[in-house]
Amino acid sequence: MIIGIDLGTTNSLVAIYNDGLTEIVPNRFDENLTPSVISILKDDDIVVGKTARERLIVAPKDTFEAFKRNMGTKKIYDTNKVTFTPTELSAIILKTITEDARKKLNTEIDKVVISVPAYFTDTQRKATLEAAQIAGLDTLGIVNEPTAAALAYHLHETDRERIIAIVDLGGGTFDVSILDIYDSVIEVKAVAGDNYLGGEDFDYAIAEFICEKYGLKFDSLDLKDKNKLKYIAEQLKIGFGTLEKQSFDVQLTNIALTIEMNIQEFEEACLPIIARLKQPVKRALVDAEIDPMDIEEVVLVGGSTKMPIVKHQIARLFGRVPLSYLNPDEVVAKGAAVYAALREKNIKLTDMVMTDVCPYTLGTETMIKTSDGEYHKRLDPIIERNMTVPISRSHQYVAIEEEQKELRIKIYQGEDPIVEENVFLGEIVHEIRSGSLIDSMTSVRFTYDRNGILEVITQNLRNKEEKREIMLNNNSLSKEDIAKCLTKIEDLKIHPYENEENLYIISKTEKIYDLVKEDEKEKVYDMLMLFREALLSDSLFNVNKAKEKLLKMLEEYEERF
């Protein structure tokens, strides 16, 4: 059996192609999406998917997500006991979802096709292949995500040239690809995007709106409260797909809130984000030298395109109603399955990328003064992901205080505004002998070429002192490295699947305990304890009774969280 895999930033999926039809293969919970999240439990067992996702609020330090953003980099994900590379974490996801598919289909998985973003470099594609190898999979091919989306809608079945647009708005990124389809070729002519634009930005805007409405300051909240509010914001966002008005109760560290929001308030909060969809669409069209009138179809991909306000804005920008009869979460996996079937039957289809873009944001650590008067570290992007390469850009910096004796330029690669979450590439230091602000002014020029080489030239604008560094971040594995990773992944203790349902219920209850108001916590705690005790009692009757009660309570909360 050959399967198509969408190894996504937020969720991963498996699809098969059968008799002209594509189908998603559900995971062990009978769900189509497996969250690309991995969590390490106290006893070092590993859980993958929705149980891990439930632990993001209660055990954020031991839970990893969105590691696809760092594929092919030297980023290390660290707990106190174990470390993982993005490739290893991806291998764990691949291993889990293919194992689930094998069981569900009751047949061996012979080969896989994996989708990757069109802007992935050779290094990132290689890292994806290595992840598959570490997961023990035989990869038949890699397909570009926008190409897969076109295949899922059978847009390749044409005897004339057609130009289409793929609009992908996921959890954290926005990508617009222009595809030219002709003579069994699908050519990605342009990709443009915004790496700080996705579902999370809507969540953040809604959370900020709530704070303003209830007299709180989002930036001053602790991380847990921020996560709680963002979680509730996401639930509200999804709810407004069908509802006009919603209400949520939540316990924050110092305050219990009853949040009420109507659809007008929701749309008002989302307006600035919706406006940001325009620029990348325009840039993709300009880069591809295409008039919007020449676009024959627009395909929607990614969970956030389910939002009615997003759909309307895309329709407005392209002047046509986008295709969305396939579930936008499933389009890429289904297309990967179509690609697998074409390859298997030796039907010729060339999947080409004609555009060279920088796959990561490259920037420097800077200090920003926020409204509370304090300095906060921020990543200042100099070259942004998806910019066409080769490219050269410069920013100027100045010391933040008089008497500062040096200007330390720390260079990072990655998409997270929180500096430490990105990959550190190196630093250049300029001495400021006089300690005066004006003498500290320094220009920093980044030049990024097609081979993924970053040249950084810094120049003090007063004394003209110049420094130059070449930064490479090529992280290919040797055969020995792969063999080591294989053993490491094989030796991992995956939490026994037969116990996973119980762990999922416990993790979900712990999350709800964290979220509910003070006066409700005791009830949730008691139920959880009852269930834990029942599990220790070895009595199936007790376990089932406690589980039934707990599930009933969770169901009630489900409507609220």
Site string for ligand AMP, 241-270 (x = CB under 6 A): x-----------------------------
CB 211 within 8 A of CB 200: no
Among 50, 53, 228, 237, binds ligand AMP (CB under 6 A): 237
Strand 350-353 vs strand 185-194: parallel, antiparallel, or unpaired? parallel
Among 82, 185, 238, 398, binds ligand AMP (CB under 6 A): 238
Q: Is 199 among the residues that bind ligand AMP (CB under 6 A)?
A: yes
CB 113 within 8 A of CB 143: yes
Q: Is 8 among the residues that bind ligand AMP (CB under 6 A)?
A: yes
Which window, 4-12, 104-112, 113-121, 368-376, contacts ligand AMP (CB under 6 A)?
4-12
Q: Is 349 among the residues that bind ligand AMP (CB under 6 A)?
A: no
237-262: string of b/e by CB count within 10 Å (b at 16+)? Answer: bebbeeeeebebbbbbeeeebebebe
**24 has which bridge partners?**
15
CA angle in degrees (0–180, nearest 5) for 501-505-511: 145
Which window, 176-184, 230-238, 311-319, 496-504, contacts ligand AMP (CB under 6 A)?
230-238
CB 554 within 8 A of CB 509: yes
Nearer to ligand AMP, 35 or 72 (CB): 35
Lookup result for tokens 């759909």: 311
Distance (Å, whole) CA 537 – CA 550 = 16
Which residues make Cβ contacts (< 8 Å) with residue 538, sequence separation at least 6?
none
Which window, 7-15, 41-49, 214-222, 488-496, contacts ligand AMP (CB under 6 A)?
7-15
Which residues make Cβ contacts (< 8 Å) with residue 154, sequence separation at least 6?
338
Nearer to ligand AMP, 130 or 175 (CB): 175
From the CB of 149, what's the least distance to ligand AMP, in Å? 11
Among 303, 335, 359, 414, binds ligand AMP (CB under 6 A): 303
Q: Is 193 among the residues that bind ligand AMP (CB under 6 A)?
A: no
CB 295 within 8 A of CB 229: no
Among 4, 5, 6, 11, binds ligand AMP (CB under 6 A): 11
From the CB of 171, what's the least distance to ligand AMP, in Å? 4
From the CB of 321, what's the least distance to ligand AMP, in Å? 18
From the CB of 202, what's the least distance to ligand AMP, in Å? 7
Q: Is 385 among the residues that bind ligand AMP (CB under 6 A)?
A: no
E strand or H helix at 55, and its extent? Answer: helix 50-58
Tell which positions 305-334 bind ligand AMP, by CB under 6 A.
Answer: 306-307, 329
From the CB of 303, what's the least distance to ligand AMP, in Å? 2
173-202: string of b/e by CB count within 10 Å (b at 16+)? Answer: bbbbbbbbbeeeebbbbbbbbbbbbbbbbb
Instruction: State phi, psi for 412 to the nearest 5 degrees.
Output: -125, 160
Nearer to ligand AMP, 209 or 412 (CB): 209
Q: Is 535 among the residues that bind ligand AMP (CB under 6 A)?
A: no
Residue closest to ligand AMP (Cβ): 199
Give the torsion through C-alpha atoms of 496, 499, 503, 505, to 10 deg.
150
Nearer to ligand AMP, 133 or 304 (CB): 304
CA dist 537 to 133, 383, 552, Å?
A: 42, 58, 21
CA dist 326 to 305, 318, 514, Å?
A: 12, 19, 36
Site string for ligand AMP, 143-182 (x = CB under 6 A): ---------------------------xx-----------
List residues near ligand AMP by CB under 6 A. 8-11, 170-171, 199-200, 234, 237-238, 241, 302-304, 306-307, 329
